[in-house]
Chain A
Amino acid sequence: MNFDFTEEQIMIRDAARDFAQRELLDDVIERDTKAEFPTKHVQTMSELGFMGMMVDPKYDGGGMDTVSYVLAMEEISKIDSSVSVIMSVNNSLICYTIEKFGTEEQKEKYLKPLARGDKIGAFLLSEPESGSDATMQRIIAEDKGDYYLVNGIKNWITSANSGSIYILFAQTHPEKKHRGINALIVEKDTPGISLGPHEDKMGMRSSDTHSVMFTDVKIPKENRLSEDGFGFKIAMKALEAGRLGIAAQALGIAAGALERAIQYSKERKAFGTEIANHQAIAFKIADMAVKVENAKNLCLKAAWLKDNKKPFALASSMAKLYAADIAMEVTTEAVQIHGGYGYVKEYHVERLMREAKLTQIYEGTSEIQKIVISRTLLRD
């Protein structure tokens, strides 16, 4: 067994850290407050190759492994999860799905600009009445011969406005239930697509989230991913990979909060000494560090399984469940350690706490992860 990172993995982690420290930290609070999209930051991230870092270089990707991806997600999420969620969706939900299920033509046309970061992708699965239960797709993609006619609405779509290439899940054969769902690649500027207002979120406010309405939208048949009716399967495969991205994000949020808590507790004095010297604080730090370390190990194990072409769905669910839950606990403790300063924006930890909450909800709630984990263990 070997816990050492390769020289390249370290280089990528450091590159992500430098990017986050230099490009994101300065205006992260302001962007969060104003819910301002990180346009220039995403552009720099694209130039550095973080938007399609695991995609095969022949499709303009970075060709890096999943362990590197986890390390990069962690570093960027320590500073700004609005940016890392854009990266995660583009990498593990969009590029991964098109690379795995797309035709050569689809890869040429869509994967390449996505992997370069010239275009941003969005994943359209959730609906107003269907979040966790993704089998219940109400949006319809009616088979009209050489195209699908799409009508309906999607909700909570990350990068819906900033993104220009969508992967849409819609029902073509309602009688077949989830086996009737198709996955379609949709260009945002197709006539009939309109966006709802920017959602005013609790955290990750600098990433744009909208509902997307489809009114008689014609999608060419050649934009369907894989076979007719394979959409649900594709969604589940995409989420296996997506979960790992969000697990790494939650890990980064927790690790970032821990770093700030350690730094603060060594500076702040109370009762004549640094608060780190009080056992009440020191023990909190110890508990937080163990949680962060566990989350990191779960994330890296899942990444290692994926890199070694072994089944990783169970591991990525465990990583997502654990990392998201401890991100909430660790950020809450980080706020507590900061006292009043933790409750104001300047010290970052209240923002990390708000960001942590979303990791328990999106790309499969903590409860859904428990269903995935328990079903996997109990099915035999």
Chain B
Amino acid sequence: MKILICISNVPDTTTKIRFAENNTRFDSQGVQWIINPWDELALTRALELKEASGGAIEKVSVISVGPQSAEPTIRKALAIGADDAIRVNYEPTDAYGVAFQIAEAVKGQGYDMIIAGIESSDYNGAAIGGMLAEFLGVPSVSSVSAINVEDGNIVLKREIDGGSEIIGTQLPFVAVIQKGVALEPRIPSMRGIMMARKKPLNVVEPVAVDTMTEFVSYKLPPAKAACKMVDPENVKELINLLHTEAKVI
């Protein structure tokens, strides 16, 4: 079995977001880039499955659509433990374009399980996994919170209103995962970082695709109110503030 993880290169979650060109473009200057947290969990789970599979899962690959500047993030995925990587040399414009490029790059490559994070922490579009499955003509399962392989069968758990459901699926398929699929993302080890130097990172040229959407302008949410410190002894004041100022109780 071969697993593919779609990874997105996103600004660190603590980044101070700024816009340029009259609020029509994200200003990436000075930004630290990371693997989208959901994708990192997907990669962690895929590696756990591979390690427990006794060789049945032969390979975990990652794919990312982005310019060369995304390569440190891709190499981090290799350092964490992915066996190889594909970068589609394409500046992401919208979910449709990204999903289309991934589909074109992996068609016929024999991936049995393709995992995408439920959304990326920058644009939060939550669209790529489903679109990708559609382009590839394979089933997709959304909001997956656990992935297991039992006797060669795929067992997925989905959170639904009031409980959860267990789903089996044929191969190949796309799983769109949310938190819970792995406890914590893996920290790359020194050995992993060293081995990442030698792992293949194949760059694929993009295919022509229409851009379906356009960003007209960006706006920051209103600033968070300042934090108010309350003496731990003074519970009365805390309750009073929650009631009268924050109006949450």
Q: Is the CB of B188 within 8 A of A22?
A: no
Q: Is the CB of A53 within 8 A of B72?
A: no
Nearest Cβ distance between residue A214 and chain B, in whole angstroms?
34
Q: Is the CB of B189 within 8 A of A47?
A: yes
Q: Does B2 contact A (CB under 8 A)?
A: no
Q: Does B191 contact A (CB under 8 A)?
A: yes
Partner of B227, one of A18, A22, A61, A267: A267
Taken together as a complex, chains A and B put the C-alpha atoms of A7 and B201 apart, in Å, by 15
Q: Does B174 contact A (CB under 8 A)?
A: no
Interface-central residue, B191, B193, B227, B229, by most chain A CB under 10 Å: B193
Residue in B closest to A52 when the chains form the complex, CB atoms = B190
Q: Is the CB of B72 within 8 A of A7?
A: yes
Partner of A57, one of B79, B187, B194: B194
Taken together as a complex, chains A and B put the C-alpha atoms of A15 and B187 apart, in Å, by 6
List chain A residues, Cβ under 8 A from B194.
57, 62-64
Q: Does A152 contact B (CB under 8 A)?
A: no
Q: Is the CB of A62 within 8 A of B191?
A: yes
Partner of A12, one of B190, B197, B229: B190
Q: Is the CB of B189 within 8 A of A11?
A: no
Assuming the contacts A11-B76, A49-B190, asked whether A22 and B184 have C-beta atoms less than 8 A apart, the reply is yes
Task: Find residues 163-210 in chain B having any chain A CB closer than 8 Å to their own CB.
Answer: 184, 187-191, 193-194, 197
Q: Does B75 contact A (CB under 8 A)?
A: yes
Residue in B closest to A268 when the chains form the complex, CB atoms = B229
Partner of B193, one of A12, A22, A47: A12
Q: Is the CB of A15 within 8 A of B188?
A: yes
Nearest Cβ distance between residue B32 and chain A, in whole angstroms?
9
Task: Find residues 6-63 in chain A having any chain B CB closer than 8 Å to their own CB.
Answer: 7-8, 10-12, 15, 18-19, 22, 47-50, 53, 57, 61-63
Nearest Cβ distance between residue A297 and chain B, in whole angstroms?
21
Q: Is the CB of B75 within 8 A of A7?
A: yes
Q: Does A109 contact B (CB under 8 A)?
A: no
Taken together as a complex, chains A and B put the C-alpha atoms of A62 and B190 apart, in Å, by 5
Residue in B closest to A267 when the chains form the complex, CB atoms = B227
Nearest Cβ distance between residue B84 and chain A, in whole angstroms?
18
List chain A residues, Cβ under 8 A from B76.
11
Q: Does A233 contact B (CB under 8 A)?
A: no
Residue in B closest to A23 when the chains form the complex, CB atoms = B187
Taken together as a complex, chains A and B put the C-alpha atoms of A268 and B194 apart, in Å, by 43
Q: Is the CB of A50 within 8 A of B190?
A: yes
Taken together as a complex, chains A and B put the C-alpha atoms of A50 and B189 apart, in Å, by 8
Q: Is the CB of A8 within 8 A of B229?
A: no
List chain A residues, Cβ under 8 A from B189.
15, 47-49, 62
List chain A residues, Cβ under 8 A from B187.
15, 18-19, 22, 48
Residue in B closest to A341 when the chains form the complex, CB atoms = B229
Taken together as a complex, chains A and B put the C-alpha atoms of A15 and B75 apart, in Å, by 13
List chain B residues, Cβ under 8 A from A48.
187-190
Taken together as a complex, chains A and B put the C-alpha atoms of A269 and B226 apart, in Å, by 11
Assuming the contacts A7-B75, A22-B184, A48-B187, asked whether A15 and B193 have C-beta atoms less than 8 A apart, the reply is yes
Q: Is the CB of A49 within 8 A of B191?
A: yes
Assuming the contacts A267-B227, A267-B229, A269-B229, asked whether A64 and B190 have C-beta atoms less than 8 A apart, the reply is yes
List chain B residues, Cβ under 8 A from A61.
190
Residue in B closest to A50 when the chains form the complex, CB atoms = B190
Taken together as a complex, chains A and B put the C-alpha atoms of A22 and B184 apart, in Å, by 9
Q: Is the CB of B229 within 8 A of A10?
A: no
Closest 8 CB pairs of A and B: A49-B190, A62-B190, A48-B189, A49-B189, A18-B187, A7-B72, A15-B187, A53-B190
**A-B contact sample (17 more), CB < 8 A, given A19-B187, A62-B190, A267-B227:** A7-B75, A8-B193, A10-B72, A11-B72, A11-B75, A11-B188, A11-B193, A15-B189, A15-B193, A18-B187, A22-B187, A47-B189, A50-B190, A57-B194, A62-B189, A62-B193, A64-B193
Provide 30 A-B residue pairs closer than 8 Å at the C-beta atoms, listed in order of the A residue. A7-B72, A7-B75, A10-B72, A11-B76, A11-B79, A11-B188, A11-B193, A12-B190, A12-B193, A15-B187, A22-B184, A47-B189, A48-B188, A48-B190, A49-B189, A49-B191, A50-B190, A53-B190, A57-B191, A61-B190, A62-B190, A62-B193, A62-B194, A63-B190, A63-B194, A64-B193, A267-B227, A267-B229, A268-B229, A269-B229
